[in-house]
Amino acid sequence: MNESLLPSIFACNVVVNSLLSFLTTALLIQLILVLFRIKQPRFKSLLLCLPLLKLVTDLFSYDFENWALTNAINPLLAEEGSRNLSLMTCYPIPAENIYFPLTQIVFSINYGERFSPGDLVALSISPLTLISLTTLILGISLTKAWKLFQRIKNSRQRLAKIVKNSKPYLERIGNQRLAKRVQQKRCQIILSSQVDTPLAFQRYICIPDNLIAKLTQEEFEAVLIHEMGHLCWFDALIRVICQFIHTLFWWVPMNWWIKRIENFQEKACDAAITRYKVEGADLASAIVKSAQSAKMRPPLLSSCFVQKESVINRLNLLLDDSITKKNSRVIWFQIVLATSLAFIVTTSKFWIF
């Protein structure tokens, strides 16, 4: 085995194994959501982040010491019957008699060395093709990362411009609990002509100036509660991290998965109105008015507040009061399940050596 090819083979591992790992983890998360009937949207959004997090943690989970190729073993040339596919539900440490609760799906050879589907792909093509493909993938990744950096930089500049040119909202908030929460978070409510829909970022809640006059006091406070949910749970930061991971692993089809995360974030913020004794109909009405207002002006800076894909479903949930049905024991069970699942999934090995 030519050692100069090992970096390219590892790069092939990252491409192939990350795709398999993401699909496997996503399937497991979806099974958990269905089998345990998890309904709370906030926990759903957090659980759906795990397959993306797993892509990053996998980069630090490779065992190069037991990699077949570093031990001069070509898995394609191994003796017939010596290659194994193993599924383990715990990881033993014989000397300590300790078992870690994790799952492994790995290929191995009878001698103990491990290999991966990425190795098989890399060894099945010519060295020149392998080097060319990995160089191309690396170049695309760097280009996409630079473009994302520029988009983030431009967004920060636009947000700074919005804050600079905005007007503060000076009216009193009638909901005392909401007013106290806004004060605790040192949140500033501003009005701007440079946004289409309500927007939460940093410590600001920005409301379109042409929308504020159309909202009743109850609808306005419902919007504030929704946007406060985004600030308290750092939803904007989570979305940036998801986009960054998507940029690094651009070959993994996760756009649809990220949209599901954003959809559940929106539903979780909708559900927050029940803690402030605000009617779901008030927020539903505010969403409709915001969508109508956004259509009447040129496209500006928008948020996910009135995303077409989720707004109808959100309105139905708000109007049938399903978000008010809670069971504290079920919620605590979901918290324990989410914490346990996070540990198991992020420490497991799927398809990597």
**Tens-digit pLDDT profile for residues 32-49:** 888 877 888 998 999 999
Question: What's the pLDDT at 238?
Answer: 95
Place 71 in a pLDDT band, splitting at 50, 70 and 90. confident
The set of long-range contacts for 185-190, using a CB threshold of 8 Å and a minimum separation of 24, is 185/228, 185/231, 185/232, 187/228, 187/231, 189/224, 190/162, 190/163, 190/166
pTM above 0.85, yes or no: yes
Question: What's the pLDDT at 309?
Answer: 57
Quick check: 302 pLDDT over 60?
Answer: no
Question: What's the pLDDT at 329?
Answer: 64
Query: What whole-number distance in Å separates Cα of residue 38 and Cα of residue 210?
Result: 39
Q: Is 93 helix (H, G, I), strand (E, B) or coil?
A: strand
Q: Which of 86-95, 102-111, 122-131, 319-328 has the highest mean pLDDT?
A: 122-131
**Tens-digit pLDDT profile for residues 322-345:** 554 555 666 677 678 767 776 777
Question: What's the pLDDT at 328?
Answer: 63
Sign of CA pseudo-dihedral 243, 244, 249, 251: positive
Quick check: 168 pLDDT over 90?
Answer: yes
Quick check: 351 pLDDT over 70?
Answer: yes
Quick check: 299 pLDDT over 60?
Answer: no
Quick check: 254 pLDDT over 60?
Answer: yes
